[in-house]
Amino acid sequence: MTELTCDELDALLPELFDGRLSPEVESASLRHLATCDQCRIVVGDLERVGEMYREHGRLTLPDDARARIRAILEQG
């Protein structure tokens, strides 16, 4: 398999985390991660989010925080 781009790896991250990639694609993903600082940061951040979710479970935002976030997103 050819080398992956950052965008290709990004699209594969859910399957990578779930262990659902073919051995060939998983190997290409790991090769990319070995050479790309930016993608390693993204994967590290996602791993930390997963750890927090497993540790704390699903958190519920207060209604006023949800409203502020929704307003910000609707402006964008």
Question: Between the CA atoms of 70, 14, 38 and 8, what dihedral angle is there, to the nearest 10 degrees?
Answer: -110
| pLDDT value of residue 6 | 97
pTM of the predicted protein model: 0.69
SS3 67: helix
Domain boundaries, the chain: 6-75
Cα angle: 40, vertex 28, 48; to 5 degrees: 25
- When pLDDT is averaged across residues 57-68 and rounded to a whole number, the result is 88
Q: What's the pLDDT band for 8 if we cut at 50, 70, 90?
A: very high
SS3 57: coil
- When pLDDT is averaged across residues 33-54 and rounded to a whole number, the result is 94
Residues in the chain: 76
Q: What's the pLDDT band for 56 if we cut at 50, 70, 90?
A: confident
Contact 10, 33 (CB under 8 A): no
Q: What's the pLDDT band for 61 if we cut at 50, 70, 90?
A: confident
